[in-house]
A and B are shown apart, each in its own frame.
Chain A
Amino acid sequence: MSKLGTPVKLDIASEEFRMNSKEVREARDAHWYAETDWGIAVLSYEDNTHLLHSPYMGQGSAKWPRQHGVSSGQFHEWWSQNLLVLEGDDHHRIRRLVNPAFSRRKVRAMEPKFEELARELIGSWIHRGEVDFASEFASPYATRILCMMLGIDESDWHHIQELASTIGLGLGVHVGDHIASIDAAVNELTVYAEGLITEREAAPTDDLLGTLLGANREDDRSLSRQELVNIVILLIFAGIDTTRHQLSLSIDSFQKQPDQWDKLARHPYHYAERAVEEALRVNPIGRWVTREATESFQHRERWIEEGTTVHLYTLTGGTDPAEFNNPCDIDLDAERSPHFAFGGGVHHCLGHFVARTDIGVALAALAGRITNVRVGADTDWLPDSGNTGASYMPITFERRNSVE
């Protein structure tokens, strides 16, 4: 596919910027990429999936804190040693040891607990006909599942969620302004994680943390205590806000297509997986996957210099009409090419089976109980760039009486 236009410039920092807009669709019609203040924005599905696996690309998030004026302290220390930014053997050794704890089999075993939690939360507000979905479902659901996996007392969920969001500020452009509280959160979680690990060492368990503690391979030494602490913090950082916001985004997409919502309600086991995939394709929490050129190389007509930041645009690629029919619509029966909302290559999301399973369980449970869902116009959306979502999302609904 060759496009004859010239790449446009997208002002992604503007308040008005929307991924799912005429402006971005026209930019994608004109060219496979656009320029932005933060590097190249890759727009087409074909180029995104190609560059996702390019041998000239590294993960690219390592230098973020330094680029924003943070070059010491607990957050910086932790960030520079976490799986997401490690490369080569350092990354692969740890990834190989932690992967088995996140297998589909291990996650499936937790499914009944996810279902029970979804039922409990829905039961607490269904009689009202309205609820702030963000704070009364998405937040507690995502956070309590992470607590469950790590063996953290679920009644602490609110505090854990605050710590996760505080560390999350480390990936924002204002990291410098918040660094004192971010460092304090990393500190607190370090102490917390050490406590959990000490408990497990004294009394082994077969939950996720117990599995990680026992992770060992003859030819790879096991995880050090520091590596275990780092991974616990990473799971809290990478697993809570992602899942929480993806739940709200999924509801927002399905409310626009009540026929698909009702279809899910009628055949939850058949469609739950598809529902998650379609929501991630048309409305992903991570609006781009970050990459950086590790050497200079040619891609199509463009020479990409070493060190260039390349953002792979998930929503834009996932709704590219060159790849998908009725690209912006959720269609639970369509055969779709894979989206890349979980990234790709060696850094492909470690927790994707967890997210896929728990979001699927949640959507099926919700579709089975509520219908005519409307998302309030006063929803408090985060900026539509980087990671997005809603911090406040009032919805109204009717109770579903029966599913024919």
Chain B
Amino acid sequence: MRIDVNMSKCQNHGQCAISAPGHFWFDEEGRLSYRSEFTRDFLDDVEDAMDACPMQAITVVDDE
């Protein structure tokens, strides 16, 4: 499965990194980084991240 973040919407609030710290984190400049591939085991966390994003910038693509 894949995570896609619309970086022109993202405002670096970091709610995603609270919900799914293994998949979203901040680089040293305080900008969002994320791992785009993930397995279904982490779907709950990643969906929580998607829901919690104040800008609704995250989409999850099921390409399995």
Q: Is the interface of B mostly helix, strand, loop or mixed?
A: loop
CA A103 to CA B50, docked complex, whole Å = 9
Q: Which of A68-76, A318-326, A340-348, A383-391 forms contacts with chain B?
A: A340-348
CA A208 to CA B52, docked complex, whole Å = 15
A348-386, CB < 8 A from B: 348-349, 352
Size of interface on B: residues with Cβ below 8 Å to A: 14
Q: Which of A92-100, A151-159, A166-174, A232-240 forms contacts with chain B?
A: A92-100
A22 at the interface (CB under 8 A from B): no
B18 at the interface (CB under 8 A from A): yes
Contacts of A348 in B (CB 8 A): 13, 15, 54
CA A103 to CA B55, docked complex, whole Å = 12
A123 at the interface (CB under 8 A from B): no
* Chain A interface residue number, banded: 20 to 34
Q: Which of A99, A342, A349 contacts B19 (CB 8 A)?
A: A99
A60-105, CB < 8 A from B: 92, 95-96, 99-100, 103-105
Q: Which of A49, A99, A344 contacts B52 (CB 8 A)?
A: A99
| CB 8 Å contact bits of B1-25 with A (1 = contact, 0 = none) | 0000000000111110011000000
Interface pair B54/A95, CB less than 8 Å apart: no
B48 at the interface (CB under 8 A from A): yes
CA A100 to CA B15, docked complex, whole Å = 11
Q: Is the interface of A mostly helix, strand, loop or mixed?
A: helix
Instruction: Select the residue from B14, B18, B30, B52 with max chain A CB neighbours within 10 A.
Output: B52
Interface pair B51/A103, CB less than 8 Å apart: yes
- Using A92-B18, A104-B51, A349-B54 as known contacts, list a sample of 19 further A-B pairs with CB atoms less than 8 Å apart, ordered by residue number in A: A53-B11, A53-B12, A53-B30, A54-B30, A55-B30, A95-B18, A96-B18, A96-B19, A96-B48, A100-B48, A100-B51, A100-B52, A104-B56, A342-B54, A344-B11, A344-B13, A345-B13, A345-B14, A346-B18
19 A–B pairs (Cβ distance < 8 Å), ordered by A: A53-B11, A53-B30, A55-B30, A96-B18, A96-B48, A99-B15, A99-B19, A99-B51, A104-B51, A105-B51, A338-B55, A344-B11, A344-B13, A345-B13, A345-B14, A346-B14, A346-B15, A346-B18, A352-B54
| A residues apposed to B, CB below 8 Å | 49, 53-55, 92, 95-96, 99-100, 103-105, 338, 342, 344-346, 348-349, 352
| B residues apposed to A, CB below 8 Å | 11-15, 18-19, 30, 48, 51-52, 54-56
